């Protein structure tokens, strides 16, 4: 039971689109990720995801609309909803999602991270 300093954890890595585990509770991971540019269109059949912007901003695209998620804001993407995050400049984001959640959901490609580093 020790506190986690988000800024300090973010200073430990530079890789983009490679989530790092910083906590775990009740079958959920708390992850930090840095990203810029577009991600892959995907969905998660069984998991909801929460994206909280720690630094920067990004646009969450959906099939029929998009919305900007600003620093200090979060969005919950319900299971089965096709989505794609895009950041014009690097964004730092806290993710809260079930342990079973694969970052690319129903898609497997070069950005898929099946094994996540715990920092």
For the question of whether the overall pTM of this predicted structure is more than 0.85, the answer is yes
Secondary structure class of 3 (helix, strand, coil): coil
Write the pLDDT tens digit of every residue in 10-37. Answer: 999 999 999 999 999 999 999 999 999 9
The pLDDT tens digits for 75-111 are 999 999 999 999 999 999 999 999 988 788 888 888 8
Domains of the chain from N-terminus onward: 6-118 (2.60.120.10)
Strand, helix or coil at 22? strand
Nearest by Cα to 99 from 34, 41, 33, 46: 46
Give me 73's structure tokens.
């804001």
Using left for φ > 0, alpha for ψ between -120 and 50, and beta otherwise, residue 56 falls in left
Strands 66-70 and 57-62: antiparallel
């Amino acid at each position: 039971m020790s506190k986690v300093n988000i800024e300090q954890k973010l200073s430990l890595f530079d890789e983009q689109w490679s989530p790092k585990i910083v906590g775990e509770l009740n079958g959920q991971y708390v992850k930090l990720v840095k990203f810029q540019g577009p991600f892959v269109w995907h969905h998660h059949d069984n998991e909801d995801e929460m994206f909280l912007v720690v630094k920067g901003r990004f646009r969450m695209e959906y099939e029929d609309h998009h919305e900007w998620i600003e620093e200090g804001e979060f969005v919950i993407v319900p299971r089965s909803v096709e989505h794609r995050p895009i950041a014009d400049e690097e964004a730092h984001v806290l993710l809260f999602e079930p342990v079973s959640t694969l970052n690319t959901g129903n898609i497997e490609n070069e950005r898929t991270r099946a094994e996540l580093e715990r920092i």
